[in-house]
Chains A and B, each alone.
Chain A
Amino acid sequence: MRTIINSVKLFWLLLAVPGIAILHGWLTGGIETMDMIHPTGEMGARLMVAAMLIGPLAGLLGPKRWLLWLLARRRALGVGAFAYAIAHLVFYAIDMGSLEAILGELPIASIWTGWLALALMLPMALTSNQTAMKLLRTAWKRVQQLAYPAAILTLLHWLWIHDGATAAYIHFAPLVLVWLLLALRKLTKSQPSPQAGV
């Protein structure tokens, strides 16, 4: 049982469940195409934040067992985020119906931020494997750091598209909170104690 729970494949499957559920709804006619855009995008953002939280949380709390468990699954979260972002784009494209209509919306701030975020996620997703890690060596980490501008663009995309600003803040707040706590800890550690030098 423990082996099944700890299976990374099961984790991948769990990440796919919400996507499979809404895809089933769409295929059976219960969900309209335009209503597929928001949930796929939200799920993508959710997994992106989850993947980005694990590292700073480990820095903040130390090597906890549950964090190590999550750390081993961070790649699945990141690739899952990209897969949902692609689904988000696919349903947007189906809903728009033509390339001309898609290009027509490109200058809108809420749209180009989404495109740019996805463009930044692409090299991260393509290099999320052991072979790329070995080939790129130190450059691999720089590629993965594209997550930061991609996340900022995702937040802007969400806020500007004007489809639930509160939900956007709720999703991204944990990330900001963890970074602030990390910064606070570093600042307090760098301050000399009152007894120093006595």
Chain B
Amino acid sequence: MRSLILAAAFGLAATAALSTATPAEATGKVKCQAGPQSGWKNVESLKAQLTKDGWKVTKAKVDGGCYEVYGVLPTGEKVEAYFHPVSFEKLYVAQRGKVLFRKSGY
């Protein structure tokens, strides 16, 4: 019976963790339909723009067809953020999995 309780406890924990996640979180990624990369703006321009806005950019890469940026906000929070690679529009910002901002539809 103890083993059944343990298995159930893990199942409940996993379900609880998932139920607090939105579909975007469940996949682990934000998806951008931004067309071919030849039409994208340069990631260095995004980093420069964010730095100008007061961010400290640690790392930037492509993920899910978006630009994924790791850095520190001007307010000091360490975040993971997604930007549209053509418009540089901010789509998603999360601090250790806690969503601080998400554009509607993403």
Name A residues whose Cβ lies closer than 8 Å to a Cβ of B.
32, 34, 56, 95-96, 101, 104-105, 108-111, 148, 151-152, 155-156, 159-166, 169, 172, 175-176, 178-180, 182-183, 186-187
CA distance A165 to B14 in the complex (A): 10
Contacts of B26 in A (CB 8 A): 165
- At the interface with chain A, which of B1-9, B33-41, B43-51, B82-90? B1-9
Contacts of B95 in A (CB 8 A): 105, 108
Q: Are A159 and B4 in contact (CB under 8 A)?
A: no
- Beyond A156-B13, A179-B6, is A108–B96 a contact (Cβ under 8 Å)? yes
Contacts of A164 in B (CB 8 A): 28
Q: Output the nearest chain B residue to A52 by Cβ-Cβ distance.
A: B6
Q: Are A162 and B94 in contact (CB under 8 A)?
A: yes
Given contacts A96-B78, A104-B76, 17 further A-B contacts (CB under 8 A): A34-B70, A105-B95, A108-B95, A109-B20, A110-B97, A152-B13, A155-B13, A160-B17, A160-B20, A160-B96, A162-B97, A163-B97, A165-B18, A165-B21, A165-B28, A179-B6, A180-B7
Does B52 count as interface, using CB distance less than 8 angstroms? no
Residue with the highest number of chain A CB atoms closer than 10 Å, among B1, B3, B26: B3
Q: Are A163 and B13 in contact (CB under 8 A)?
A: no
Q: Are B14 and A101 in contact (CB under 8 A)?
A: no
Interface of A is mostly: helix
Contacts of A155 in B (CB 8 A): 10, 13-14, 17
Task: Fill in one digit per residue for B50-78: 1 if any A CB lies within 8 Å of its CB, else 0.
Answer: 00000000110000000000100000111
Closest 3 pairs (CB-CB, A-B): A183-B4, A159-B17, A162-B97
CA distance A63 to B27 in the complex (A): 41
Q: How far is the CB of A44 from chain B (nearest CB, A)?
A: 17
Q: Are A152 and B3 in contact (CB under 8 A)?
A: no
Contacts of A156 in B (CB 8 A): 13, 16-17
Q: Are B96 and A110 in contact (CB under 8 A)?
A: yes
Does B103 count as interface, using CB distance less than 8 angstroms? no
Q: Are B6 and A148 in contact (CB under 8 A)?
A: yes
- Beyond A56-B3, A104-B76, is A152–B96 a contact (Cβ under 8 Å)? no
CA distance A148 to B76 in the complex (A): 35
Q: Are A161 and B13 in contact (CB under 8 A)?
A: no
Q: How far is the CB of B102 from chain A (nearest CB, A)?
A: 12
Q: Output the nearest chain A residue to B58 by Cβ-Cβ distance.
A: A34
Q: Output the nearest chain A residue to B17 by Cβ-Cβ distance.
A: A159
Q: Are A32 and B59 in contact (CB under 8 A)?
A: yes
